Chain A
């Protein structure tokens, strides 16, 4: 199918915030004047179980309603999921990987035999040190913005801040923004 849409597939585990990450990205892209979809694939909801979420981003209304089979960008919140078959479904040569890992891009490429364009950020370490627990979704968004240039970083931060403010206390919002900025600075490409 012609690439009318930018398609992003998130792989995480229950509790890592893959769904929230997709929603935050969707909202930020809408504020850039785009049409968006953000939706999780729901199974039994359990902490630690693999979770998939999706974003479609387009310049026109999006009419299709099914999971993303061949993503342009894949967001891996837990690198152990690279051992699962589902992550590799529909991966093309030009699919961009953004992975949460403490390994260097070169080490990660070697370990999982990744031949694609790869961005790596230690989102777990960043979130644990700033937010206080493993919530890699927001720092991974910082890495996404740096890696794809899909939207201006300032505009993205403003959007996330507004959305988080609706639900969370001031210090949580501040910590998330700080984590996003750190990930944006630290993400490495290979």
Chain B
């Protein structure tokens, strides 16, 4: 493919995920394709029915079983993908740790949706924030185009470091919104990802292995230490693979973080996913008024890019961190706490406040973005603010 010669398609986020899966042509997809999952797997099942992929498609009776089937197939050496959302991801929780602990490079397309109760399947990040210590690489994408490319890259990243990866996009806001997606030809995708080369193969009878045995005080800790080594390794591998992809195809996708108008900024906001897009546009308007404000978009949260956060935020006077999830700790959302921790060791560090917004798919608009910027500016100017605030809620 000629660099930058994309095939433009009008796709929803769900369609973009499913189309990427079609081009990846995984050996096995096991999923529970019913709400709270979006239509990703349903669309993919049509590709299976139409013979457009070689995938063994395993429809199961629950998400717990879906990921369990993925684990089995991945252990056997297959390239495996799945997708889910919300309660579905919550039901997978037990198996998330097993996939990571067994070092299986399963790639999951997640549409971020709220958790019950009350019942709600709209866009927020409560679901995957609850999975953040499960050992999966976690990628949050801004739009359908980035989600498409990120899923393809995730295959290569996961299989290079032998860890599972989940790629996120915002429920409804992106999953059900049609946008222009710059797709690649099938053969370009397949050439980039190559074949999975598993370290071990359950069906290699000349070199038999045991998978998942009891591992007590004598070796469990060593295995967990090795698992952590893979995550340290992911920090090196991810930027290399993102760079390779960008250089090969002419995309412009950031690795861990995307600095936006931070060059001479005095204060900034940290945002993720689709909210970052809205925030960029509002920051442009503030910049036109001469405000020295910028944005750092946090794209990958596992492994956590504390070096990049220190580099870009360390010199600022004030930072506001936006969380589309609660931690129920009373000290703010999950990313607020992790970013504060990342900045703690700096000799001089910015004042930091947090914002919880958009829960249950509450629209995040320019008005709320302006409110957040006003508050971070006040923090920069010396005003005392609470640990964190709720934006766009009736109180």
Contact = CB atoms under 8 A, between A and B. Distances in A.
B274 A65 contact: yes
Contact of B176 (A40, A61, A62, A69): A40
Contacts of A35: 179-180
B157 to A, nearest CB: 25
B174 A65 contact: yes
B351 interface: no
B138 to A, nearest CB: 20
Interface residues of B, number: 24
B8 interface: yes
Contacts of B274: 65
Interface string B22-50: 00000000000000000000000000000
A42 B179 contact: no
Contacts of A64: 277-278, 281, 366
B122 A27 contact: no
B308 interface: no
Contact of A39 (B8, B177, B280, B281): B177
Interface string A25-54: 011001000011111101000000000000
Interface residues of A, number: 21
A3 interface: no
A23 interface: yes
Nearest to A29: B10
B10 A42 contact: no
A37 B366 contact: no
Interface centre among B170, B174, B275, B281 (most CB of A within 10 A): B281
Given A23-B178, A36-B179, A63 B366 contact: no
B97 interface: no
Interface in B285-302: 285
Interface in B265-323: 274-275, 277-278, 280-281, 285
Contact of B365 (A22, A23, A66): A66
A69 B365 CA distance: 10
B363 interface: yes
B173 interface: yes
A37 B177 CA distance: 7
A67 B178 contact: no
Contact of A26 (B176, B178, B275, B365): B178
Interface string A10-25: 0000000000001100
A22 B179 CA distance: 12
A65 B178 contact: no
B280 to A, nearest CB: 5
A67 B180 contact: no
A38 B364 contact: no
Given A63-B278, A63-B280, A38 B365 contact: no
A26 B144 CA distance: 14
Contacts of A40: 176
Contacts of A1: 281, 285, 366
Contact of A62 (B8, B179, B275, B364): B179
Interface string B239-278: 0000000000000000000000000000000000011011
Contacts of A22: 178
Nearest to B181: A30
Q: Which of B8, B177, B281 has the most CB of A within 10 A?
A: B177
B178 A66 contact: no
Contacts of A42: 122, 172, 176
Contacts of B174: 65
B190 to A, nearest CB: 24
Q: Which 6 A-B pairs have the closest CB atoms?
A: A39-B177, A63-B277, A38-B178, A66-B365, A65-B274, A27-B10
13 contacts: A1-B281, A1-B285, A23-B10, A27-B10, A36-B179, A37-B178, A39-B172, A40-B176, A64-B277, A65-B173, A65-B275, A65-B278, A66-B366
Interface of A: 1, 22-23, 26-27, 30, 35-40, 42, 61-67, 69
Interface of B: 8, 10, 122, 143, 170, 172-174, 176-180, 274-275, 277-278, 280-281, 285, 363-366
Given A42-B176, A63-B277, A65-B170, 16 more contacts: A23-B178, A27-B10, A36-B179, A37-B177, A39-B172, A39-B177, A39-B178, A61-B180, A64-B277, A65-B143, A65-B274, A66-B278, A66-B363, A66-B364, A66-B366, A67-B365
